[in-house]
Amino acid sequence: MRLFHAAAVALSFAAATVAAQTPVKPEAPYVPTPTEIVDRMLTLAKVGPGDYVIDLGSGDGRLVTTAVATYKARGGQGFEIDPKLVKEANANAAKAGVADRVKFVEKDLFTADVGEATVVTLYLMPDMLGRVEAKLAKELKPGTRVISHDYPLPSWQPVDVVRFDTGEKLPISGTTRTVLLLYRVPDRR
């Protein structure tokens, strides 16, 4: 019995070590949201001084940094798996003069603490969004706005949908078509 216990402890220690050492693979490629669309997303979500904005998969940090520098959000955070992008995003926040209110962290977005958000921004692959939706439903305060670039959350109903064409999208997706979907976290019953 003691041997079994020792083996179980050794196994769980080994599993934890492997888990800690295995880097999480990005499930979405890095494709920055064009600046015109950054503005459209933040405007549609009505970002303002009361807001704390979190971008899941934050790339070079443009959504959160623009939210604070231009739309005067009180602060924000980005979670990103690629350490080079995290470094670049923090440098961009410093250049924009908002490093005291904005932080980019190297972290798997599925384990990120999102509880402080009043606005969450997303530009992720469709096959991630079911899991993202489940996380947000559990962890966000009711009423929090969630804005998704191009891809819908699978079971929430958007409160607003905006479609437009922009040439900035052509080199990214081969089409000018863009859709922005705005959601509000539903009340928990």
Per CB under 6 A, 58 contacts ligand SAM:
yes
Region binding ligand SAM by CB under 6 A among candidate stretches 21-29, 92-100, 152-160, 180-188: 21-29
How far is it, in rounded angstroms, from Cα 77 to Cα 102? 6
CA angle 138/139/141 to nearest 5° reads: 105
- Rounded to an integer, what distance in angstroms lies between the CA atom of residue 11 and that of residue 151? 40
Q: How far apart are CA 142 and CA 136, in angstroms?
A: 10
Q: Does 79 bind ligand SAM (CB under 6 A)?
A: yes
The binder of ligand SAM chosen from 52, 123, 151, 183 (CB under 6 A): 123
Binding positions for ligand SAM, 87-106, rule CB under 6 A: none
The yes or no reply on residue 85 touching ligand SAM (CB under 6 A) is yes
Q: Which residue of 36, 39, 82, 168 would you call a contact of ligand SAM, by CB under 6 A?
A: 82
Task: State the amino acid at position 164 in one-letter form.
Answer: F
Is residue 67 at the binding interface for ligand SAM, with CB under 6 A as the rule?
no
First to last CA, the chain: 46
Nearer to ligand SAM, 40 or 101 (CB): 40
Contact 28, 52 (CB under 8 A): no
Cβ at position 169, least distance to ligand SAM in Å: 12
Give the amino acid at 177. Answer: R
Residue placing its CB nearer to ligand SAM in the complex, 9 or 127: 127
- Applying the rule CB under 6 A, the residues between 127 and 166 that interact with ligand SAM are none
CB 143 within 8 A of CB 14: no
- The sign of the CA dihedral 62, 65, 71, 76 is positive
Residues that bind ligand SAM in the complex, under the rule CB under 6 A:
24, 26-28, 30-33, 55, 57-59, 62-63, 79-82, 85, 108-110, 123-124
